[in-house]
Amino acid sequence: MTNGIVWCWIASWLTGRRYVSLPFSDHCEPLVSNQGELDDLLLHMKHSVTSGKCKYLEIRPTSWEPGSETGLRRSVTYDFHSLDVSKSTQELFHNFHKDCVQRKIRRAERERLHYEAGSSEDLLHKFYGLLVRTRRRHYLPPQPLCWFRELVANFGEDLKIRVASKDDLPIASILTLRHKKSMVYKYGCSDERFHKFGGMAFLFWNTIQEAKEKGCEQFEMGRSDSDNFGLISFKQRWGAVATQLSYWTYPYRRAINPSARQKLVLRRFIPLMPDLALETVGKWFYAHIG
Protein backbone atom coordinates (compact mmCIF):
# COMPACT_ATOMS: atom_id res chain seq x y z
CA MET A 1 0.00 0.00 0.00
CA THR A 2 1.37 3.41 -0.94
CA ASN A 3 -1.24 5.77 0.51
CA GLY A 4 -3.60 6.14 3.43
CA ILE A 5 -5.25 8.31 6.09
CA VAL A 6 -4.59 7.86 9.80
CA TRP A 7 -7.86 7.70 11.76
CA CYS A 8 -8.74 7.39 15.42
CA TRP A 9 -12.02 5.85 16.50
CA ILE A 10 -13.86 7.78 19.24
CA ALA A 11 -16.87 6.24 20.97
CA SER A 12 -18.72 8.68 23.22
CA TRP A 13 -22.33 8.72 24.43
CA LEU A 14 -22.07 12.52 24.67
CA THR A 15 -20.60 13.51 21.29
CA GLY A 16 -21.24 10.36 19.26
CA ARG A 17 -19.16 7.68 17.58
CA ARG A 18 -16.85 9.06 14.91
CA TYR A 19 -13.56 8.72 13.05
CA VAL A 20 -11.21 11.70 13.41
CA SER A 21 -7.87 12.33 11.72
CA LEU A 22 -6.53 13.08 14.31
CA PRO A 23 -8.05 14.04 17.69
CA PHE A 24 -5.97 16.37 19.92
CA SER A 25 -3.90 17.34 16.86
CA ASP A 26 -4.03 20.71 15.14
CA HIS A 27 -3.59 19.01 11.77
CA CYS A 28 -2.93 15.63 10.17
CA GLU A 29 -1.91 15.34 6.54
CA PRO A 30 -3.33 12.47 4.41
CA LEU A 31 -0.60 10.22 3.02
CA VAL A 32 -1.57 10.61 -0.64
CA SER A 33 0.18 11.69 -3.81
CA ASN A 34 -2.79 13.12 -5.73
CA GLN A 35 -6.39 14.29 -5.38
CA GLY A 36 -7.83 11.08 -6.76
CA GLU A 37 -6.20 8.96 -4.06
CA LEU A 38 -7.56 11.23 -1.33
CA ASP A 39 -11.10 11.17 -2.69
CA ASP A 40 -11.07 7.39 -3.16
CA LEU A 41 -10.05 6.89 0.47
CA LEU A 42 -12.72 9.29 1.72
CA LEU A 43 -15.44 7.71 -0.42
CA HIS A 44 -14.49 4.33 1.06
CA MET A 45 -14.65 5.71 4.63
CA LYS A 46 -18.11 7.23 3.98
CA HIS A 47 -19.51 3.70 4.16
CA SER A 48 -18.83 3.82 7.93
CA VAL A 49 -21.38 6.63 8.17
CA THR A 50 -23.96 5.37 5.67
CA SER A 51 -23.88 1.90 7.27
CA GLY A 52 -24.55 3.40 10.70
CA LYS A 53 -21.22 2.37 12.22
CA CYS A 54 -20.36 5.96 13.13
CA LYS A 55 -22.02 9.38 13.26
CA TYR A 56 -19.49 11.34 11.19
CA LEU A 57 -15.95 11.62 9.81
CA GLU A 58 -13.54 14.50 10.32
CA ILE A 59 -10.19 15.25 8.66
CA ARG A 60 -7.72 18.06 9.41
CA PRO A 61 -5.42 18.45 6.37
CA THR A 62 -3.07 21.35 5.69
CA SER A 63 -2.42 20.90 1.94
CA TRP A 64 -5.39 18.96 0.56
CA GLU A 65 -9.09 19.65 0.09
CA PRO A 66 -11.65 16.86 -0.39
CA GLY A 67 -13.36 16.82 -3.79
CA SER A 68 -17.03 17.83 -3.95
CA GLU A 69 -18.10 14.26 -4.77
CA THR A 70 -16.89 13.07 -1.34
CA GLY A 71 -19.58 15.12 0.41
CA LEU A 72 -17.14 16.50 3.02
CA ARG A 73 -17.60 20.18 3.84
CA ARG A 74 -15.68 22.71 5.93
CA SER A 75 -16.96 22.73 9.49
CA VAL A 76 -14.54 25.32 10.89
CA THR A 77 -11.48 27.29 9.73
CA TYR A 78 -8.62 28.48 11.93
CA ASP A 79 -5.52 30.64 11.53
CA PHE A 80 -2.44 28.41 11.76
CA HIS A 81 0.86 30.12 12.63
CA SER A 82 4.38 28.96 11.87
CA LEU A 83 7.74 30.69 12.33
CA ASP A 84 10.63 30.09 9.92
CA VAL A 85 13.62 29.38 12.20
CA SER A 86 16.12 28.73 9.40
CA LYS A 87 17.23 32.37 9.68
CA SER A 88 20.12 33.40 11.92
CA THR A 89 19.50 33.91 15.63
CA GLN A 90 20.29 37.60 15.26
CA GLU A 91 17.84 38.04 12.39
CA LEU A 92 15.10 36.21 14.26
CA PHE A 93 15.53 38.36 17.36
CA HIS A 94 15.62 41.53 15.27
CA ASN A 95 12.25 40.60 13.70
CA PHE A 96 10.52 40.18 17.08
CA HIS A 97 8.27 43.01 18.22
CA LYS A 98 10.51 45.39 20.19
CA ASP A 99 8.12 46.12 23.07
CA CYS A 100 6.04 42.96 23.30
CA VAL A 101 8.78 40.37 22.70
CA GLN A 102 12.34 41.73 22.75
CA ARG A 103 11.80 43.79 25.89
CA LYS A 104 10.16 40.86 27.71
CA ILE A 105 13.04 38.53 26.87
CA ARG A 106 15.53 41.06 28.21
CA ARG A 107 13.39 41.57 31.34
CA ALA A 108 13.41 37.82 31.96
CA GLU A 109 17.18 37.73 31.62
CA ARG A 110 17.59 40.67 34.05
CA GLU A 111 15.32 38.89 36.53
CA ARG A 112 17.54 35.81 36.16
CA LEU A 113 14.66 33.45 35.59
CA HIS A 114 15.66 29.81 35.91
CA TYR A 115 15.04 27.59 32.88
CA GLU A 116 14.45 23.82 33.04
CA ALA A 117 13.56 21.41 30.23
CA GLY A 118 12.89 17.68 30.21
CA SER A 119 10.11 15.18 30.86
CA SER A 120 10.54 14.27 34.53
CA GLU A 121 7.64 13.78 36.92
CA ASP A 122 8.80 16.86 38.82
CA LEU A 123 8.61 19.05 35.71
CA LEU A 124 5.24 17.53 34.81
CA HIS A 125 3.80 18.51 38.20
CA LYS A 126 5.18 22.05 37.88
CA PHE A 127 3.59 22.30 34.45
CA TYR A 128 0.28 20.84 35.58
CA GLY A 129 -0.07 23.14 38.58
CA LEU A 130 0.29 26.12 36.24
CA LEU A 131 -2.08 24.53 33.71
CA VAL A 132 -4.88 24.14 36.28
CA ARG A 133 -4.39 27.78 37.29
CA THR A 134 -4.49 28.96 33.67
CA ARG A 135 -7.54 26.90 32.70
CA ARG A 136 -9.39 28.25 35.74
CA ARG A 137 -8.49 31.77 34.61
CA HIS A 138 -10.05 30.97 31.22
CA TYR A 139 -13.13 29.40 32.86
CA LEU A 140 -12.32 25.94 31.49
CA PRO A 141 -11.53 22.57 33.11
CA PRO A 142 -7.96 21.28 32.63
CA GLN A 143 -6.97 18.29 30.57
CA PRO A 144 -6.43 15.26 32.86
CA LEU A 145 -2.95 14.67 34.26
CA CYS A 146 -2.99 11.10 32.90
CA TRP A 147 -3.25 12.53 29.37
CA PHE A 148 0.09 14.30 29.77
CA ARG A 149 1.67 11.19 31.34
CA GLU A 150 0.63 9.26 28.23
CA LEU A 151 2.20 11.91 26.00
CA VAL A 152 5.46 11.72 27.94
CA ALA A 153 5.49 7.92 27.73
CA ASN A 154 4.78 7.82 23.99
CA PHE A 155 6.85 10.70 22.63
CA GLY A 156 9.99 10.05 24.66
CA GLU A 157 12.84 12.45 23.92
CA ASP A 158 10.74 14.30 21.30
CA LEU A 159 8.61 15.80 24.07
CA LYS A 160 9.86 18.47 26.45
CA ILE A 161 8.23 20.28 29.34
CA ARG A 162 9.87 23.69 29.71
CA VAL A 163 9.54 25.63 32.96
CA ALA A 164 10.58 29.16 33.90
CA SER A 165 10.94 29.85 37.63
CA LYS A 166 11.52 32.94 39.73
CA ASP A 167 13.27 32.22 43.05
CA ASP A 168 12.32 28.50 42.80
CA LEU A 169 8.66 29.32 42.11
CA PRO A 170 7.37 28.09 38.69
CA ILE A 171 5.80 31.05 36.88
CA ALA A 172 5.40 29.81 33.28
CA SER A 173 5.59 26.54 31.37
CA ILE A 174 5.10 25.17 27.86
CA LEU A 175 5.01 21.68 26.39
CA THR A 176 6.62 21.13 22.98
CA LEU A 177 6.98 18.23 20.56
CA ARG A 178 9.64 17.71 17.90
CA HIS A 179 8.91 15.95 14.62
CA LYS A 180 11.46 15.81 11.80
CA LYS A 181 12.19 19.44 10.85
CA SER A 182 9.49 21.00 13.04
CA MET A 183 9.33 22.06 16.67
CA VAL A 184 5.69 22.19 17.78
CA TYR A 185 4.28 24.32 20.59
CA LYS A 186 1.37 22.37 22.03
CA TYR A 187 0.39 23.65 25.50
CA GLY A 188 1.23 26.74 27.52
CA CYS A 189 0.34 28.01 30.99
CA SER A 190 1.44 30.64 33.48
CA ASP A 191 0.91 32.34 36.82
CA GLU A 192 -0.66 35.68 35.97
CA ARG A 193 0.83 37.32 39.07
CA PHE A 194 4.26 37.16 37.44
CA HIS A 195 3.50 38.02 33.82
CA LYS A 196 5.58 41.19 34.12
CA PHE A 197 8.74 39.07 34.36
CA GLY A 198 8.37 37.79 30.77
CA GLY A 199 8.34 34.07 31.57
CA MET A 200 6.49 32.97 28.42
CA ALA A 201 8.68 35.06 26.11
CA PHE A 202 11.73 33.59 27.88
CA LEU A 203 10.49 30.03 27.25
CA PHE A 204 9.62 30.66 23.61
CA TRP A 205 13.03 32.19 22.93
CA ASN A 206 14.84 29.25 24.54
CA THR A 207 12.70 26.85 22.51
CA ILE A 208 13.39 28.66 19.24
CA GLN A 209 17.14 28.58 19.89
CA GLU A 210 17.02 24.86 20.66
CA ALA A 211 14.96 24.23 17.53
CA LYS A 212 17.73 25.83 15.49
CA GLU A 213 20.38 23.72 17.25
CA LYS A 214 18.39 20.55 16.46
CA GLY A 215 18.20 21.45 12.76
CA CYS A 216 14.51 22.36 12.75
CA GLU A 217 13.22 24.66 10.02
CA GLN A 218 9.81 25.54 11.46
CA PHE A 219 8.46 26.42 14.88
CA GLU A 220 4.74 25.64 14.76
CA MET A 221 2.82 27.92 17.10
CA GLY A 222 -0.55 26.22 16.67
CA ARG A 223 -4.03 27.20 15.57
CA SER A 224 -6.05 30.25 16.63
CA ASP A 225 -9.76 30.97 16.33
CA SER A 226 -10.13 33.62 13.64
CA ASP A 227 -11.82 36.00 16.11
CA ASN A 228 -9.19 35.55 18.85
CA PHE A 229 -7.33 38.72 17.93
CA GLY A 230 -5.23 38.77 21.10
CA LEU A 231 -3.74 35.33 20.43
CA ILE A 232 -3.24 36.08 16.74
CA SER A 233 -1.42 39.31 17.60
CA PHE A 234 0.80 37.49 20.09
CA LYS A 235 1.96 35.05 17.41
CA GLN A 236 2.41 37.73 14.77
CA ARG A 237 4.71 39.66 17.09
CA TRP A 238 7.15 36.76 16.90
CA GLY A 239 7.19 36.99 13.12
CA ALA A 240 5.02 33.91 12.60
CA VAL A 241 3.14 33.63 9.30
CA ALA A 242 -0.53 32.60 9.27
CA THR A 243 -2.19 30.19 6.85
CA GLN A 244 -5.75 28.88 6.82
CA LEU A 245 -6.42 25.50 8.40
CA SER A 246 -9.83 23.94 7.71
CA TYR A 247 -11.47 20.92 9.32
CA TRP A 248 -13.76 18.91 7.02
CA THR A 249 -16.64 16.66 8.08
CA TYR A 250 -19.11 14.24 6.56
CA PRO A 251 -21.95 14.78 6.98
CA TYR A 252 -21.57 18.51 7.59
CA ARG A 253 -21.41 19.48 11.26
CA ARG A 254 -21.24 23.01 12.55
CA ALA A 255 -18.38 23.56 15.01
CA ILE A 256 -19.61 23.22 18.60
CA ASN A 257 -19.14 26.40 20.61
CA PRO A 258 -20.49 27.07 24.11
CA SER A 259 -23.65 29.14 24.17
CA ALA A 260 -23.85 32.42 26.08
CA ARG A 261 -25.79 30.61 28.79
CA GLN A 262 -23.16 27.85 29.08
CA LYS A 263 -20.36 30.43 29.26
CA LEU A 264 -22.22 32.22 32.06
CA VAL A 265 -22.53 28.97 34.02
CA LEU A 266 -18.80 28.26 33.57
CA ARG A 267 -17.86 31.78 34.69
CA ARG A 268 -20.06 31.44 37.75
CA PHE A 269 -19.00 28.03 39.02
CA ILE A 270 -15.41 27.35 37.91
CA PRO A 271 -13.87 30.08 40.14
CA LEU A 272 -15.58 28.45 43.13
CA MET A 273 -14.40 24.90 42.46
CA PRO A 274 -11.39 23.48 44.34
CA ASP A 275 -8.57 22.15 42.16
CA LEU A 276 -9.52 18.50 42.73
CA ALA A 277 -13.10 19.08 41.61
CA LEU A 278 -11.94 21.03 38.57
CA GLU A 279 -9.54 18.24 37.61
CA THR A 280 -12.35 15.68 37.99
CA VAL A 281 -14.54 17.68 35.61
CA GLY A 282 -11.63 17.76 33.16
CA LYS A 283 -11.27 13.95 33.27
CA TRP A 284 -14.93 13.55 32.37
CA PHE A 285 -15.05 16.33 29.77
CA TYR A 286 -11.95 15.49 27.75
CA ALA A 287 -12.89 11.85 27.40
CA HIS A 288 -15.65 12.96 25.00
CA ILE A 289 -13.95 15.56 22.81
CA GLY A 290 -11.17 15.49 20.26
User: Would you state the pLDDT for residue 258?
Assistant: 57
Nearest to 288 by CA among 46, 55, 75: 55
pTM: 0.89
User: Would you state the pLDDT for residue 10?
Assistant: 87
SS3 19: strand
Distance between CA atoms of residues 66 and 36, nearest Å: 9
User: Would you state the pLDDT for residue 13?
Assistant: 72
CB atoms under 10 Å from CB of 119, counted, come to 18
Among the four given CATH numbers 3.40.50.970, 3.40.50.1000, 3.40.630.30, 2.30.30.30, the one describing domain 80-244: 3.40.630.30
pLDDT in tens, 62-112: 999 999 999 999 999 999 999 999 999 999 999 999 999 999 999 999 999
Distance between CA atoms of residues 35 and 39, nearest Å: 6
Burial label for 150, CB within 10 Å (0-12, 13-18, 19+), is exposed
Q: What is the distance of C-alpha 279 from the center of its chain? A: 19
Q: Sketch the domain layout of the chain as residue ranges.
A: 8-78+248-279, 80-244
Q: Where are the strands (E) in the chain, listed by range?
A: 8-10, 18-21, 56-59, 73-84, 114-118, 159-166, 169-179, 182-190, 218-225, 241-250
Section 110-120 average pLDDT: 98
ω into 22 cis (within 30 of 0):
yes
Nearest to 262 by CA among 147, 141, 142, 144: 141
User: Would you state the pLDDT for residue 50?
Assistant: 87
